[in-house]
Each structure stands twice: as structure tokens, then as C-alpha cells.
Amino acid sequence: MDKTKFDYDFIIIGGGAVGCGIALDAITRGYKVLLLEKNDFGSGASSKSTKLVHGGVRYLEKAILTFNKAQYKLVNEALKERAIFLKNSSTISKKFQIFTPLYNWFEAIYLYIGLKIYELISLSYSLGKSSFVSKKILGFLKQKNLKGAISYFDGSFNDSKMITSLLITAQNLGTDVKNYCEVKEFLYDNKRIVGLKYFDKIENKEFEISSKVVVNATGVSIDTLRRVDDYNCSELITTSKGSHIVLSKEFMDLDVGLLIPKTHDGRVIFFHPWENILIIGTTEVDNKAKKISDDEIDYLLFYANKYLKKEAKKEDVLSTFSGTRALIKKDIPLSSIVREYIINISKTNLVSISAGKWTSYRKMAEDCLNVIFSKSLIKEKASCKTKECELLSLESLEINEADIIFAIENYFVKRPIDILLRITNIAYKNRSTALKNIEFICEIMAKYFSWNEEKKDSEIEFSKDYIKSRF
């Protein structure tokens, strides 16, 4: 391969939060960028979050009690990034009030001091003051021994729409973005990566492209792709499965969140009223199953019924979703791991980045590029501009012919599940409704793409299996 002429400056592999963030950062600095994703954009853990933009309140207690500088640094950085996130995505995210219920006065003082510290750490980035809330307005909670609640503020957002907004913003600036394109092998010159081959699953074709820098931002698949480059490489990450259940919003009659700061096994659970549903999660399980287990459902329903006045049963669960998160590999319990991120450069110059969380996606991208510049993989053209990069707004789309066609032509839709998940979020909100709409969506897409009956039937079957096996 002629290394004097490259197709791209950067090829980013992985279309989740981090990959999209890196693509946007690189294009705003003046580079030629290609973003590749083997499935749909955001189809991994990036769309399976609790939909909160938080400063790491769950890590604050550990930082205070253990004098852990790493935990404190994570909280401090996340609070700054939270402010940038909300400012740059104002049509997708918002300030959000969260209550922590109190059942004894010692607990009230303890939590109040902790949240005041959370507030003070944020300084000019604060979203509002924490305060005491009377039990009189907590009618949705069981009242026995309830003293009231402590209120504080974080952010709420739509993770799937955030992915699409990042994509269209980057594309509008010149980034080439391709979903359903799987990297098969790397290309080398003098033992350095100078490109790759990828297979386009939609066009059923293989392509060969060159690039000055290749970034592996594939989340939990980071080590799998690293082994394509070096089969004997050591693992960088471990994983943690986090699951949520979805109930009707009628179980909480206020548009505020609920934080349960400590479960019996030391976890944190959020109750998040979000777009007319109630999300409860998350679990933390050491497996990679794509669907929630019965034990996880029972666990989350137990805490729902421990606090909510209206009893929730299994038949009240409208949908569920699970995501496998990447965490830096350490020999400590999963719930104790600080969700920092890792940047690694191989001997062949494959740049790999993983772990972290949604709130810090922008800073992760900035740090990744700065490491690349420091290692002289490519000359730095400009400083980071994403702190002031306002993301493009999206159209609010529903399940009808006009909106489906609009999504195909503007929002990178290739398959029916893209509509059900990333575009409308219906699968996350109501599993039954998603299943009922599959055939209609397939009819519209078959007409648009000129699918034959065999292809249409195949997409119907695939979509149904996909929803049933994951939601």
C-alpha cells in the first residue's frame, strides 16, 4: 500500500458514544475522518444507559470515606463535563431533579452533607442547590418511617438521540459515517497499521481503505479487535452487565428521579421517569447475556416495591433492556471499580480506548486525540473545539410512512430494528408495541429499498427475534 497517500487521516472503529465523540473531535480539528460501526450506531451499551447525565454521585461516598483521589478526580471531572454536555445538547438533554428518600435523621444529615459536597465540588458548574423535601409531596412513596427527602440536580437525556445528533453533526462537518460495516483485518506497512479491510453487510461487499491513524473504540469488543492486530495481546478490560426494567410512569406521579444510594448488596439504584415511562436500574452482574435474567427482574422489582406505594408485578413490566459495560481490568469487585477509561497504543500503532461513561465521552475523545498527538502518530492541526460545539437538533419521529422514509434518508437507517431502537426508542419503552409495529415498518422499508418477499420476510423474522431476545 502506498503510504504517501492516505484515504483518511482517522478511521474510527465503533459507533457508540466514544467513537462518535472522537469522530466529532477529529473533524472539528480539520482532519479527514471515517467512522465505521459493525451493527447500527449506538446499538451496544451506549443506548442501554439509565439516561442520566451525572457527575458520579455514586462515587462520591467512596471518595470521601476512603480519601480516594481517583474517585474524587472522577467526580470533579464528570461535573465539569456534565455542564458542557447539557450546554451543547440542549434539545436532547435537560437539568433533572432527583430525590433521595430519608428514613432516619442521622441518614438525613449524612446525605445532606454528602450532597452539599457534591454541590460544592461543581462550583460554577452547579445545576442547583440541594435541599430538604417534605414527605407531603412524596405521595408515591411508602410513608412508614419516611422523614422526607434530600433533593439535588443532575441531567437527563436521550442516549439514542444523542448518538444520532453526534453523527449528523459530524457528518455535516464532513465525516463519512457507515453502519453495518465490520472490520475484518488490518493493513500494514513496515509493521505499522496503515489501513484496513471492512465488509459492508448491507451492500455485501468488502472494501480496502488506508488511514494515517486507526482508532479502536469498540467498547466491550476492544480486546477482540486488538487480537485481530496481535493475537497474544493481554486483555485491557473486564465487563459488567447492567439491566433495567420499564414500568408505566403512573407508578411515580412526579417528574423527578429517585436515588436509592445503597442497596443491601452495596449498589445504587435510580428510578428515572423518562419520556412517559419509568426506568428502574441498574443491576451489576458479571456476565454478557444480552437479556435481563429473572433474578435481575426480581431484584429490581423488590426495590421498586420497597419504596413505591403502588405495587409493581412482573406483568407490569413493559420492557427491559441490558447493556454490557467495559471497565478497566482490575482484581476487585465490579461494584468497586472506578469507571475511568484506558487509552492504549500497540506496537503497530493501533489506538484503543474503552471504559468511561456517557457524561465523559467528550473528554475521553479529547484525551484520546491528545495522546495520539503526543506519540506523533499524526501532526496536530488545531486544539480541541468540542467544548463549544453545539450539536444539531433532531426531528421527533413516529411510526408512520413519512417519518420512516425521513429517517432512512437523514438518520442512517438501514434495517427495521434501527427504527424500533435508535430512532423511536419504542423497543425500550414497550416490547409489545415494538413487536406489533415490525411488519408495518418492514412493508415501508421493503417498498423504499425494493426488497423482494424473501428479503422482507427475513427482516421481519430477524427483527422479531432481536426484540424477543433482548427486551
pLDDT (tens digit, 9 = 90+) per residue, 98-147? 999 999 988 888 888 888 887 888 777 889 888 999 999 999 999 999 99
Q: What is the pLDDT of residue 2?
A: 56
Q: pLDDT confidence of 212, banded at 50, 70, 90?
A: very high
Q: What is the pLDDT of residue 409?
A: 99
Q: What is the pLDDT of residue 75?
A: 80
What mean pLDDT do residues 382-388 have? 98
The helix or strand, by DSSP H or E, that contains position 133, with its residue range, turns out to be strand 131-133
What are the tens digits of pLDDT across the range 333-353? 555 444 578 999 999 999 999
Q: What is the pLDDT of residue 118?
A: 79
Q: What is the pLDDT of residue 58?
A: 66
What mean pLDDT do residues 141-155 have? 94
Given the DSSP bridges, would you call strands 52-53 and 319-328 parallel, antiparallel or unpaired? unpaired
Q: What is the pLDDT of residue 106?
A: 87
Q: What is the pLDDT of residue 334?
A: 53
Q: What is the pLDDT of residue 337?
A: 47
Q: What is the DSSP string of 57-96?
A: HHHHHHHHHHT-HHHHHHHHHHHHHHHHHHHHTTTTEEEE
CATH superfamily of 8-46+161-234+330-375: FAD/NAD(P)-binding domain (3.50.50.60)
pLDDT of 227 higher than 80: yes
What mean pLDDT do residues 49-63 have? 81
In order of 12, 34, 196, 312, 318, the CA distances from 189 in angstroms are 19, 20, 11, 60, 53
Can you say whether the dihedral through the CA atoms of 433, 436, 440, 442 is positive or negative? Answer: positive
Other Cβ atoms within 10 Å of 454 Cβ, number: 8
Q: What is the pLDDT of residue 4?
A: 61
Q: Is 183 in a helix, a strand, or coil?
A: strand
Query: Which is more confident, 339 or 433?
Result: 433
Q: What is the pLDDT of residue 407?
A: 99
Q: What is the pLDDT of residue 96?
A: 96
pLDDT of 402 higher than 70: yes
What mean pLDDT do residues 27-55 have? 97
Q: pLDDT confidence of 81, banded at 50, 70, 90?
A: very high
Type of residue found at 313: K
For the entire predicted model, the pTM comes to 0.95
Contacts of 434 (CB under 8 A, 6+ apart): 319, 420, 426, 427, 467, 471
Q: What is the pLDDT of residue 403?
A: 99
Highest mean pLDDT among 73-82, 105-114, 200-209, 284-293: 200-209
Q: What is the pLDDT of residue 333?
A: 55
CA–CA gap between residue 175 and residue 37 (Å, rounded): 14
Q: Does domain 81-155+238-326 have CATH number 3.40.980.10?
A: no
φ, ψ for residue 180 (rounded to 5)? 55, 40
pLDDT of 182 higher than 90: yes
pLDDT of 289 higher than 50: yes
Q: How many CA atoms lie within 13 A of 267 on its CB side?
A: 18
Share of the chain above pLDDT 90, in %: 81
Q: What is the pLDDT of residue 162?
A: 99
Closest CA to 233 of 186, 180, 199: 186
Q: What is the pLDDT of residue 111?
A: 83
Record the cell numbers describing residue 302, joined without a space.
423488590
Would you say 248 and 46 are in contact if contact means Cβ atoms under 8 Å apart?
no
Q: What's the whole-number average pLDDT of the chain?
A: 93
Other Cβ atoms within 10 Å of 270 Cβ, number: 21
Record the cell numbers describing residue 38, joined without a space.
459493525
**Cell 503526543 belongs to residue:** 374
What are the residues facing 13 on neighbouring strands?
36, 216
pLDDT of 16 higher than 50: yes
What mean pLDDT do residues 166-182 have? 99
Q: What is the pLDDT of residue 135?
A: 93
Q: pLDDT confidence of 201, banded at 50, 70, 90?
A: very high
Highest mean pLDDT among 71-80, 121-130, 256-265: 256-265
Q: How many CA atoms lie within 13 A of 338 on its CB side?
A: 20
Q: What is the pLDDT of residue 40?
A: 99
